[in-house]
Structure 1
């Protein structure tokens, strides 16, 4: 029930990190994956690596914040493959600083990528899926949609907003066979979180917030994407799947002497 044979997926942000791992996982389970990224060379590297392992993929340069480009990409996939079954939006950026120190330009930039870009993919892919009779839309939220820390307010707002976009879309398109869900990772070792490694105390504090005492790996998120894309999740829509190592289930960082 987890197989994706015969399905076509558009995964944006597949040049690195969670997106790259998810592209490999979708392809390994049978999907033809269009790996898109603002960095076209990175997208092509991911696609080539997938093909070298015997699965089907192609690379595409795509700016998720360009609504016209996203619409054209979806139209191109429909022309070439005749269908679009899976749409995944993974790119995010973060300007980590106190809210009172944010500039209007920084605020707009984070919203434009995290919310605006996700909106563009959900709208274009969602329209194609509704007209085609079904599909699965997946976007990345975060533990920050639920819990926040200093310096994360704007990023957290976009991740909460992403979740609500998906819930609204699920309610609107469910009758046309389209599911819409979010994946909410915890702290994952990716380029986005790489700067934290420069502060060992900070890095270790995040590790200990997981019940496993470590950071997550991108490939540990990919299974959630495959699940939500597959028929195994045929009755799952409008929800969020946390893959956070228990972060949101624990109360604080101190284990009482029991």
Structure 2
């Protein structure tokens, strides 16, 4: 038998702690369900009829596309954001395709908005089945001179807020047998780029948080997964795709040969929210046109 070498003492501590917890709760640790017959029935990939889905940052860009995709799959979509005018355009798109959508205004840079959002949605719509943590911000600058205020602001918005909303959603999900959380990470949760220290740190953290929450909450029926978009054509990335250098970048680094569209992300989120993904926990689906494969 090969000796397992663990160099990180912190990792060893957490592994030992996990084993100790399992040993002290044998019934909980060993609890599992084995079906008497092997299941071959196909689960629906796109039927979210009647599910209530909350999308933060749902008024623009990737969030808008996710909201529209969830609505097309039958979910009742709660579009969360600051801009009511933009939200009404998203809702119009969803309703025009015979979907249902509503706007909940919230500025997630404010503490009270984060603390009360899940409670507001459940109180207004009676339930919550799907949480999509999409809202995010950026502040680019060289790491050597990076402003600590910007660092804290980006980490809070892109990592702390998804964690807190996931906590609140899980408190609602657990007593009723489960629910879905989908985090919107980034390919920058796997690699780094110049002058994006806070964003890269936050997205790496979000990929790790997705795994951790899945481990802790899977037995409660709560599925936590993520998507990691590559270069997507949105307002937030306009400086990247509007210049001539973007064409060279796309041809050299993105094998599919094009910039991604917000609509490329929506289908993956619908899949992760559906019963077809029932055995997927803690995964991050990369949607980047092959970028990470180069």
Q: Same fold (TM over 0.5)?
A: yes
Unaligned regions of 5+ residues in structure 1, if any? 251-258
Q: What corresponds to 2:189 in structure 1?
A: 145
**1:133 CA drift (Å):** 1.3
Change (3 A) 1:31 1:207: farther
**1:120 CA drift (Å):** 2.4
Whole-angstrom distance in 2 between the partners of 1:62 and 1:164: 26
1:28 is the counterpart of 2:72: yes
Q: How do 1:163-242 and structure 2 match up within 5 A? A: 163-242=207-286
1:91 is the counterpart of 2:135: yes
Paired residue secondary structure (1:191) = coil
Change (3 A) 1:203 1:66: farther
**1:147 CA drift (Å):** 1.1
1:244 is the counterpart of 2:288: yes
Deviations 1:53-95 (A, max 9, x none): 2110001111224343234332232233322110001122122
2:57 pairs with 13, 18, 40, which one? 13
Larger Rg: 2
Q: Which range moves more in the overlay, 195-204 or 181-190?
A: 195-204
**1:22 CA drift (Å):** 0.5
**1:177 CA drift (Å):** 0.3
Q: What corresponds to 1:129 in structure 2?
A: 173
**1:202 CA drift (Å):** 3.9
Whole-angstrom distance in 1 between the partners of 2:221 and 2:82: 30
Runs of 4+ with deviation above 4 angstroms:
none
Whole-angstrom distance in 1 between the partners of 2:123 and 2:104: 15
TM-score by length of 2: 0.81
TM-score by length of 1: 0.91
CA contact (8 A) 1:67 1:120 kept: no
1:60 is the counterpart of 2:104: yes
Change (3 A) 1:230 1:105: same
Change (3 A) 1:89 1:102: same
1:73 is the counterpart of 2:117: yes
Q: What corresponds to 1:109 in structure 2?
A: 153
CA contact (8 A) 1:142 1:185 kept: yes
CA contact (8 A) 2:233 2:261 kept: yes
Whole-angstrom distance in 2 between the partners of 1:120 and 1:98: 29
Q: How many residues align?
A: 250
Unaligned regions of 5+ residues in structure 2, if any? 1-43
1:50 pairs with 88, 94, 116, which one? 94
CA contact (8 A) 2:233 2:241 kept: no
Q: Which range moves more in the overlay, 137-146 or 41-50?
A: 41-50
**1:199 CA drift (Å):** 2.8
